[in-house]
Amino acid sequence: MTDGATDGATRLEGVEGIDLDRLPRHIALVMDGNGRWAQRQGRPRTEGHVAGEEALYEVTDAAIGLGVGWVTAYAFSTENWNRPAEEVRFLMQFNEDTLLRRREELNRRNVRIVFTGRRDQRVPERIIRHQDEAAALTAANTGMTLCIAFNYGGRAEIVDAARRLVEDGVAADDVDEAAIAARLYVPHMPDPDLLIRTSGELRLSNILVWEAAYAELLFVDTLWPDFTRADLFEAIREFQRRTRRFGNI
């Protein structure tokens, strides 16, 4: 738990039935359904992303209050570049604006911000600069870590780790899980215990392919903009009802 987590959790409503001593250390979020949410209401797809931001920060607020150590949010995947150019431009600008709006608030709340994903030529330099500024601003914070997966793909991460093994001259006999894990984008990230995907889709969509090998997977029908802290609490209850064996009996 993060500092002061138990006190924060006691102030949250709706946490009945949650064992605060068995919280998932790391929750990963595949925030799916923004476009469909907007279309069902006769709105442009972009308005779904705006509503999705509010859902993310409601869930983040609840996770902070509970004392969850890490939350990873899948903000933009390597496959998202295949979307219509207008939507890609919107998402680039929207993610940048969101970061600039929220980083001071998150810093005040003792949240550390980190980023995972490729930093290639497709990502505007100003966005990379803002990411670096947010990471530096919050680097010393000791509360929850919010990891933003941006231009991220799980297979790409493994490919890039393999390239680093070659660049580092690691001998074939020395390649093991630890050697690969040390070369992932965020080597100190704990593996996710719980991975939640919204909107009724039943797939991982290339998120944390290496790290989520033993994550508990939870697929819910709720579209992401409608996902609330109450949904997060129920997801944690479901997590705590499961028995994690990690290959053992």
Annotation marks residue 32 as catalytic? yes
Catalytic one among 32, 34, 141, 151?
32
Sign of the torsion formed by the C-alpha atoms of 124, 127, 133 and 138: negative
The backbone region for 210, taken as left when phi is positive above 0, alpha when psi lies in -120 to 50, beta otherwise, is: alpha
Annotation marks residue 80 as catalytic? yes
Catalytic one among 61, 80, 110, 191?
80
Residue 146 CB-density burial (10 A; 0-12 exposed, 13-18 middle, 19+ buried): buried
Provide the annotated active-site residues.
32, 80
